[in-house]
Amino acid sequence: MVWSLFGIVAAFGIALVFYMYRQAKQENIVEQTLAFPEFPSILGKVRIFFISDIHRRKIDPDFIKRINNIDLVVIGGDLTEKKVPFSQVEENIKQLKKIGIVFYVWGNNDYEVEHHELDSLLLQHGVKILDNKSYLFESDAGDKLEIVGVDDLVHERDHLDVALEGTSKDSFKILVSHEPEIVEKFTEKEGISLVLSGHTHGGQIRIFGFGPHERGRITHLPYTTLLVSNGFGTSLVPLRLGAPPETHILTITTREGS
């Protein structure tokens, strides 16, 4: 009887680990429309592909083929981590470049590798590195969209004030930060409409719905809208439970249904 019970428990454990491994390998795309009254109507809409926390995962070319009509690609940090070959990182960058112009912010795990080499690799492939910097898009009519990015908060490299230097008061601003805690460092006066972040993995492994972090979601704060992604990869173990991997296609517009 004891050995039979042990066998049942062992079989359940093996099946659970296999399920968690399969869940961690999912290639989910969450499509969402976010409407902002301050978004310049002349721009119509902007479609962003957001991916964070790639870590050790390889981006499959067939996955990339599922993503169409994208204006901007944003990597929300943790593109890599220690012991990941730079050749794999380079291939992932090449795949993302097939979608559109690529922006990147540093994550805490990116500093586990030779970050000067990673910086050089990104620049070599034309990736726009938002290390406390901003990037301006302006229409012929003068309407402005600015992508603002801060360096990693864990290593205390973030300088939002520097990133915002030179930005326009009347532009529509999207802030990219690997860690969502960046929202605690600004108020409505900065005029940041949307924040894109990751880092938490949605808790990665949630037991009976509980985990070390909340699941990824969109939160409407009084002074901004915050997207926290579950992320694409995993940390420590290649397993997920209750917090499936996700990437995002965001349609930013001035009103619902646009």
Provide the 8-state DSSP code for 255. Answer: S
Q: Please give the CATH number for the structural domain made up of 2-253.
A: 3.60.21.10
**How confident is the model at residue 41, as a pLDDT?**
87
| Count of H-run helices and E-run strands, the chain | 5, 12
Of 72, 85, 120, 77, the residue nearest 249 (C-alpha): 72
The packing angle between helices 86-97 and 115-124, to 10°, is 30
**How confident is the model at residue 217, as a pLDDT?**
96
**How confident is the model at residue 142, as a pLDDT?**
87
**How confident is the model at residue 209, as a pLDDT?**
85
Residue type, position 237, single letter: V
**R_g of the chain computed on alpha carbons:** 19
Of 79, 109, 106, 103, the residue nearest 91 (C-alpha): 79
pTM of the model: 0.94
**How confident is the model at residue 256, as a pLDDT?**
58
Q: Coil, helix or strand for 250?
A: strand
Q: In what order do the strands lie in the sheet with 172-176?
A: 133-138, 144-149, 172-176, 192-197, 225-228, 217-220
**How confident is the model at residue 13, as a pLDDT?**
77
* Low-confidence spans in the chain with pLDDT less than 70: 1-4, 12, 256-258
